[in-house]
Amino acid sequence: MSGATRARQAQVLLIGGGINGTGIARDLALRGVSVLLVERREIGSGTSWASSGMIHGGLRYLQQDPEVTHHSCLDSGAIQRIAPHLVFRIPFLMPIFADDPIGPELVEVGLEMYDAYQPLKNGRPHTRLTPAQALELEPALSDRLECAFTLDEWGVDAARLCVANALDATGHGARVLTHTEALAPLLSGTGEVVGATVRDTLTGERFDVHADLTLNAAGPWVPQVAEMMGESVIQRPGKGIHLVFERRVSNLAIYAKGVDGRDMFTFPHEQNSMAGTTDDDYYGDLDRIDTTEDEVAYVLQAMERSIPTIRHHRITHTIQGVRPTMYGFGSYEDELSRDYAIIDHGREGQAQGLFTITGGKLAAYRLMAEDAADQLCARLGNREPCRTAELPLPGGEEEADVGALATRHAIGLPAALRLAFRHGSRADEVLAGADPELRPAKLVCACEPVLDTELRHVARTEGLRKLSDCQLRVRLGVGACQGSGCGASAAGVLAEELGWDAERTIHELAELAALRWRAVAPVLEGAQVTAMEVHRSVHFGMIGMSGDLP
């Protein structure tokens, strides 16, 4: 067999590089299964990135679906063990108002039940605060509150968690191809699915991937991919948006109630605060999900009840995604189960060799991956045990010494902290990898201290392929400047690393700008209007206007 052909052969072909696809790739690779994963865009760029990034225990499922809560809490604990660097504690504050549908006593009963699960995820039990205590913690809270509760959850950089899984998978022999789309099934003479024809969307190259088993892990695209394979999977797609604030609005995550009684929250997330989320049926174009004015109004109205000054804060952009929720009939979108299913199409449909994973949550990804991998391994006759709960993800091996990093590599403490958060114990490697003449590291963006060294590292060792991928991979262009300050510098660094010619470099820059515009436009208001005026002048002044910008 020629090398080229072998490269397109695997025991398992995974379609979709969200948290499920990457989590399963890692699990299988650790068991010695040969895996090839295709992701049609960037790792994590589907629903995973649009999530709240909360490794929470699923308090809201406690009533309908305690099983989900249990799964989530258990796995939250596991994720903290294997990726301590990527996970951060988010204490929640839940203000209770006189006109709340549920009074404090009943809320506390629920929280007491939830306390029972907290030890699974290193969470502290809830506390009850007087209004004065709550206002001392969060002075921006509405002083109409009757009392408040605290509870503990955990957050994660979801995109980075996907990448960490993908990296560990590749470290154990898996192949991960981004910007590669599954187009059509490969069928054996007897009609079994034996892989797929895929297409590299950047080069246009098409090739076949032969695999014993194929797993559809395409999140909300699961029905589309299933249909392409001649099968049917029904979801109840639920769209959700977040508003992203330029900086932190509060220290704690703060609960709020929508006009319809839904729970929402404003929560600190990395440099920013986010507020969300919504949950509405969505049957539109999954590749062009836009936030609507109604959704923004709905979130802000809810937040305003808890934080009356919320509208004074600057919103830079929105993120939006569609939950791959399991199909259920009749219930409100929000009450639909977040549980998941693994479908063996050979058994439940026609397509032998094809599996689908659908539903679930980020927080429970590891358990779901274990379940999926168990089923695939059983089919492959592989008896290796799952090891994803014990082995650390890349960077999770030990704690990075931030002070030493900053000193050794002559970078600022905030930049060092940021790298330690993103790369854990490998942060030193990221900085040491740069060629001597490129030291000390240069600041590419000032909104968040993104260093050129990190860009070079992800280009060299993580298979990064596009400037716009940097939005997720290194959080480039997601701050106040939306890429006007950093886009060109980053494009220059990547051009050098990836050998882009000038035309490609300019195209990448134009694409990033167009994507940022899409993220900003629905919430363009206040100071961000001014920032985007500068953005346009810089961008059009730099690379000229061309009618065919996306």
Partner 1 sequence: MTGRALVVGGGLAGCAAALELARAGHPVRLLAAGPGATAMTGGSLDVAAASPGVPHLPWRDPLRGTALATDGRLGFLLSGASLHPYTRLHGAGGRDELVAAARDAVDRLRSWLAPSQLGVEGDLGTNRLLPTAQGTLRITDHALSGPAEADLTGSSRVLIAEAPGVEGWDARGCARTLIHEIEALGLGPLPVEVVALRRPLSRGAQTAARVAARLDGPDGDRILTEALHGIGTAGEVVLLPQVVGLRRTRERLRGLATGGRRVGEVIAFPPHALAGYRLQCALDAALAAAEVEVIRARAGQVRVDGERYRVDPAAGQSFPVQEADALVLATGRFVGGGLVAGPEGVREPLLGLPLSDPEGRRVDGIPAHRSVRKGYGNPQPLYSAGVMVDEELRPVAAPGRGLWAAGEWIGGFDPARERTGLGTALITGVAAGRRAAAHLDAGAP
The answer to whether 470 and 488 have CB atoms below 8 angstroms apart is: no
The answer to whether 39 and 21 have CB atoms below 8 angstroms apart is: yes
User: Which position among 293, 329, 347, 381 is part of the footprint of partner 1 (CB under 8 A)?
Assistant: 293
Question: Beta strand 35-38 with 9-15: parallel, antiparallel or unpaired?
Answer: parallel
Least distance (Å) between residue 135 CB and ligand FAD: 27
Structure tokens at 510: 């134009």
User: Which position among 39, 157, 231, 246 is part of the footprint of ligand FAD (CB under 6 A)?
Assistant: 39
- The yes or no reply on residue 541 touching partner 1 (CB under 8 A) is yes
Where in 290-349 is the site for ligand FAD (CB under 6 A)? 321-324
- The yes or no reply on residue 228 touching partner 1 (CB under 8 A) is no
Sequence-ordered list of residues with C-beta below 8 angstroms from that of 511, at least 6 positions apart, any chain: 466, 467, 468, 550
Structure tokens at 119: 């030890």
The answer to whether 237 and 281 have CB atoms below 8 angstroms apart is: yes
- Residue range at the interface with partner 1 (CB under 8 A); choices 49-57, 87-95, 104-112, 539-547: 539-547
- The yes or no reply on residue 530 touching partner 1 (CB under 8 A) is yes
Beta bridge partners of residue 96, listed in sequence order: 147
User: Which position among 124, 311, 387, 460 is part of the footprint of partner 1 (CB under 8 A)?
Assistant: 311
User: Which position among 29, 50, 83, 434 is part of the footprint of ligand FAD (CB under 6 A)?
Assistant: 50
Least distance (Å) between residue 372 CB and partner 1: 38
Per-residue string for binding with partner 1, 480-519, x by CB under 8 A? ----xx--xx-xxx-xx----xxx-xx------xx--xx-
- The yes or no reply on residue 92 touching ligand FAD (CB under 6 A) is no
Size of the site for ligand FAD (CB under 6 A): 44
> How many alpha carbons lie under 13 Å from residue 4 in its C-beta half-sphere?
2
Q: Which is nearer to partner 1, 65 or 497 (CB)?
A: 497
> How many alpha carbons lie under 13 Å from residue 391 in its C-beta half-sphere?
17
Give the chain's length.
550
Write the burial class of residue 127 (CB in 10 Å: 0-12 exposed, 13-18 middle, 19+ buried).
middle
Taking the CB of residue 192, how many other CB atoms lie within 10 A of it? 18
Q: Considering CB distances under 5 to 8 angstroms, the limit depending on partner class, which of partner 1, ligand FAD, none binds residue 47?
A: ligand FAD
Where in 192-251 is the site for ligand FAD (CB under 6 A)? 217-221, 225, 240
- The yes or no reply on residue 273 touching ligand FAD (CB under 6 A) is no
Least distance (Å) between residue 429 CB and partner 1: 22
Q: Which is nearer to ligand FAD, 53 or 449 (CB)?
A: 53
Sequence-ordered list of residues with C-beta below 8 angstroms from that of 352, at least 6 positions apart, any chain: 190, 191, 192, 193, 345, 346
- Residue range at the interface with ligand FAD (CB under 6 A); choices 185-193, 427-435, 508-516, 532-540: 532-540
Where in 246-265 is the site for partner 1 (CB under 8 A)? none
CA distance 362 to 289: 20
Helices (H), 409-544: 413-423, 427-432, 452-461, 470-473, 487-498, 502-520, 526-543
CA distance 448 to 247: 10
- The yes or no reply on residue 15 touching ligand FAD (CB under 6 A) is yes
Contact set with ligand FAD (CB under 6 A): 15-21, 38-41, 45-48, 50-54, 56, 181-182, 217-221, 225, 240, 277, 321-324, 360-363, 533-534, 537-538, 541
